[in-house]
Structure 1
Amino acid sequence: MIVAEQEKKNAAIAAAIILIGFGTLAYFLPSVMLAVGAYSKLLAILVAAIFLFGIFAVLWLRSRFQKRN
């Protein structure tokens, strides 16, 4: 029973870290896009695409890790 509670706690901590990390990045994304967009609009679009791809990649990797364990 203690092991199950520890696994739930670890999952909650991992989810909180992922949400805080991507939330922080999302908060600064418009400023970064404007700064990069002053140099190249294509690079600004690429920055946003990498951010979105990163969210899905992290969640996909997390699900694969969970499936293995």
Structure 2
Amino acid sequence: MTPESRSQATAAAIILLGAGLVLYFLPTIVLWIGNFSPALAIVVGICLIMAFFAVFWLRARYQRGRGK
């Protein structure tokens, strides 16, 4: 395994672990925020789900910018 591929695998593992933790606690977070404002809970839920995809999109843009 080359150092570059090891770095990519480590980054992907960290991103997936972080996303897994957020998705695991998402119902608890949304229900807690929903006690204050249901509309805010919906917005927070959508933002947390979209953040998962945004991280991979930003990483792809960064990689394309570096020419890889």
Q: TM-score, normalised by structure 2?
A: 0.89
Cα distance, 1:65 vs structure 2: 1.2
Q: Which has the higher contact order (CA 8 A, sep 6+)?
A: 2
Q: Give the Cα–Cα distance (whole angstroms) in 1 for the partners of residues 63 and 46 of structure 2.
A: 26
Is 1:19 matched up with 2:20?
Answer: no
Give the % identical residues: 44
Segments of 4+ moved more than 6 angstroms: none
Q: What TM-score do the two structures reach when normalised by structure 1?
A: 0.88
Q: What does 1:31-42 correspond to in 2, within 5 Å?
A: 31-42=28-39
1:19-66 Cα deviation digits (max 9, x unpaired): 001111111111011100111111110111101221121111100111
Higher helix content, 1 or 2: 1
Unaligned runs of 5+ in 2: none
Does the alignment pair 1:61 with 2:61? no
* Structure 1 stretches lacking a partner, 5+ long: none
* Local SS of the residue matching 1:39: coil
